[in-house]
Amino acid sequence: MALTNLEVVSVPVSDQDRAKSFYTEQLGFSVETDSSFGGGGMRWVALRPPGSGTAITLVTWFETMPAGSLKGSVLGCDDLEKTLAELTARGVTFAEDEIQEAP
């Protein structure tokens, strides 16, 4: 078996619309899919960072994945200081210990 890609990461959220706005308007992700499925008001919201092969889904229906339980996410960029300035201008806030520059 040869795994070649990480296709989708599920991100547990309490409000899909609010999370979708954050990821698209503040982080610049694009909407891949936003549609109902399975009845019961479930919704598949898939977003992708520009140029990325991996998408995220904003999930509310997994009892074992409470909202806010995703920790340790790593986002890549070419210029950390420039990216932080752009995200801050879009209203994204960071705690000092959340930002690390690494190879």
Give the CATH number of the domain where residue 46 resides.
3.10.180.10
With respect to residue 69, please indicate whether it lies within any of the assigned structural domains: no
Q: Which pLDDT score, from 0 to 100, does residue 29 have?
A: 96
Instruction: Quote the domain boundaries for residue 51.
Output: 8-62+75-90
Q: How many structural domains comprise the chain?
A: 1
With respect to residue 12, please indicate whether it lies within any of the assigned structural domains: yes
With respect to residue 53, please indicate whether it lies within any of the assigned structural domains: yes
By DSSP bridging, strand 55-59 and strand 8-12 are parallel
**Does pLDDT of 70 surpass 90?**
no
Q: Which pLDDT score, from 0 to 100, does residue 97 have?
A: 67
Average pLDDT over residues 21-29: 95
Across 31-35, 47-51, 67-71, least confident range: 67-71
Rounded Cα–Cα distance for residues 25 and 32 (Å): 14
With respect to residue 97, please indicate whether it lies within any of the assigned structural domains: no
**Does pLDDT of 12 surpass 80?**
yes
Q: Which pLDDT score, from 0 to 100, does residue 23 have?
A: 95
With respect to residue 2, please indicate whether it lies within any of the assigned structural domains: no
With respect to residue 3, please indicate whether it lies within any of the assigned structural domains: no
Radius of gyration of the chain (CA): 15
pTM of the model: 0.81
Rounded Cα–Cα distance for residues 14 and 99 (Å): 24
11 pLDDT band (50/70/90 cuts)? very high
